[in-house]
A and B are shown apart, each in its own frame.
Chain A
Amino acid sequence: MSLIDSLPRVSAPKLPGLDGLIPWIVPLAIVLVWQLACVTGFVPSRVLPAPTDVALAGWKLLLSGELIRNIWVSFWRASIGFLIGGSIGFAFGLANGLSQLSARLTDTTLQMVRNIPHLALIPLVILWFGIDESAKLFLVALGVFFPIYLNTLHGIRTVDPQLIEMGRIYGMTDGELFRRVIFPGALPSIFVGLRFALGIMWLTLIVAETIAASSGLGYMAMQAREFMLIDVVVLSILIYALLGKLADSASRALERLTLSWHPAFQKK
């Protein structure tokens, strides 16, 4: 075990109940300071409403059902777009990692497309799809495609060639070699791509919804701006933060589940 592995364990306190709370101390402290600044009048409420006001606005929207509906719409768009873009990226990553021909055929094209900021396509996408669902799905799919593609490709290319040679000596078929050696070896890198992609997924969706949508969280924030409802704007931003954290936690849980062999994920 290296020193780095042992550091977090050394600094972690022994109380098990408190352990899970530690990451939340800083966010809670920020909210507390924010509340104090608002109550004392240090920050005027038309610049930044107090957390209690934001919570109240959230409660009202929750009762009217508007909040749930918008979150659900955004969540649906994010997941479907992610699924489409992620699967295509994964498929290309596999194909180009395993086949030299496929890589030579498509990699140059993909690298060119990758360097176009996908949000720059918004005007074109609106012209193509209008402000229909497909516009948002297209942008999200395009956004998540590249991190998944690049990291899958990288993961497969960097699998230890000694292990592949070992697999061949022991008579593994191509399918077995992929299932037992190449895919598990590429998995840590694929997860890095997954986490990047989840971040890009929210970013793309919110921007797309802010510009061209008639529902969803981004739309809710833009509507609120029209009516000077600053508490709803702040509420939307806080929900983005929570959703982002949720997506990250989900991918971490998946990592822990599948990478338990990795020294970095072994709890002792």
Chain B
Amino acid sequence: MQEVLRFQSADAEPVARADFIAEAQQLRRGSEATSRGLSLTIRGLRKSFGDNEVLRGIDLHVPAGQFVAIVGRSGCGKSTLLRLIGGLEAPGGGGIAFGEGPRAQDVRVMFQEPRLLPWARVLSNVEVGLGGERSSADAQARAERALVEVGLGDKRGQWPSVLSGGQKQRVALARALVSQPRVLAFDEPLGALDALTRISMQQLLERVWRDQGFTAILVTHDVAEAVALADRVVVIEDGRIALDVTIDLPRPRRRGSAELAALEGEILKHLLEGSEDTSDL
């Protein structure tokens, strides 16, 4: 069953290739030598909107190059945490440190919506991701490389409106990758995609993460996705870290394997137990 799924997904969105596993392993070996990730230290982070205290003191250290998934029920504050990491909101207390400095410009955020400019061709949309280097001489070449990396090299001249949902999200990924960020924060980037496209996008995310070695922070409500992709799953409940699980399984991971299912069950059980004493599911 699992093999059939993988095959179909490769058919639906041609991201996963037959030589995916071998290629990924090779990239993994290459990236360990040149890890460009940035470590991330969060201390006593608080944030409230009016009377509503969303984050009540988060302490978290993410080593450089780690893939962390943040899960939790809706309204638990996980997206707020991500927006704080991305610099989209100002913390109400505590702070976030990147590497050695207080604030890094190397953080990119990818959202649930692709947020492509509908009036710019695919390639120009990717060039937007270069930030201040947009006007540099090799901007176009770099954008093209990023597009090829997500498997959309042939769509460079298209308008975003003709792309499928999965393709749009891949353009958004290329835009986030083109500046070679050292921290990449994902806010449920696959939430709006269908199941098969999701799986091939997850494989793509894993591949580019191994390839580029950035520190990845993935906010998701899908526990299966979290355990399949991440080195570590952090569960947030009522604005605090309720659970911090290390997923020490070799990659590439087989979907539906017993170990993944056991971990998923454990985390889900924790999430559901937490929901029993509060009625707002």
Contact = CB atoms under 8 A, between A and B. Distances in A.
Interface of A: 162-163, 165-167, 169-172, 180-181, 184-185, 187, 259-263, 266
Contacts of B109: 169
B161 A261 contact: yes
Interface string B140-179: 0000000000000000000111100000000000010000
Contact of B120 (A165, A170, A180, A266): A180
B240 interface: no
Counting contact residues on chain B (CB < 8 A from A), the size range is: 20 to 34
Task: Classify the secondary structure of B's interface with A.
Answer: loop
Contacts of A180: 117, 120, 128
Given A162-B115, A163-B117, A171 B131 contact: yes
B120 A163 contact: no
29 contacts: A162-B113, A162-B115, A163-B115, A165-B88, A165-B115, A166-B115, A167-B128, A169-B86, A169-B88, A169-B109, A170-B129, A170-B130, A170-B131, A171-B131, A172-B128, A180-B117, A180-B128, A184-B117, A184-B119, A185-B119, A259-B119, A261-B120, A261-B159, A261-B160, A261-B161, A262-B161, A263-B161, A266-B159, A266-B161
Nearest to B108: A169
Nearest to A176: B134
B118 interface: yes
B111 interface: yes
A163 B113 CA distance: 10
Given A162-B111, A171-B132, A261-B160, 20 more contacts: A162-B113, A163-B115, A163-B117, A165-B115, A166-B128, A169-B86, A169-B87, A169-B108, A170-B128, A171-B131, A172-B128, A180-B128, A181-B117, A184-B119, A259-B119, A261-B120, A261-B159, A262-B118, A263-B161, A266-B161
Contacts of A169: 86-88, 108-109
Contacts of A172: 128
A170 B176 CA distance: 9
B143 to A, nearest CB: 13
Contacts of A259: 119
B130 to A, nearest CB: 8
Contacts of B108: 169
Contacts of B129: 170
A181 B125 CA distance: 11
A17 B144 CA distance: 41
Contacts of A263: 161
Contacts of A170: 128-131, 175
Interface string B81-111: 0000011100000000000000001001101
A185 B119 CA distance: 8
Contacts of B130: 170
Q: Which of the listed residues B111, B113, B117, B159 has the most CB atoms from chain A within 10 Å of its own CB?
A: B117
Contacts of A181: 117
A8 B175 CA distance: 36
Contact of A266 (B86, B131, B162): B162
B87 to A, nearest CB: 8
Contacts of B113: 162
A169 B83 CA distance: 11
B115 A261 contact: no
A261 B86 contact: no
B172 to A, nearest CB: 9
Contacts of A167: 128
Contacts of A185: 119
A5 to B, nearest CB: 11
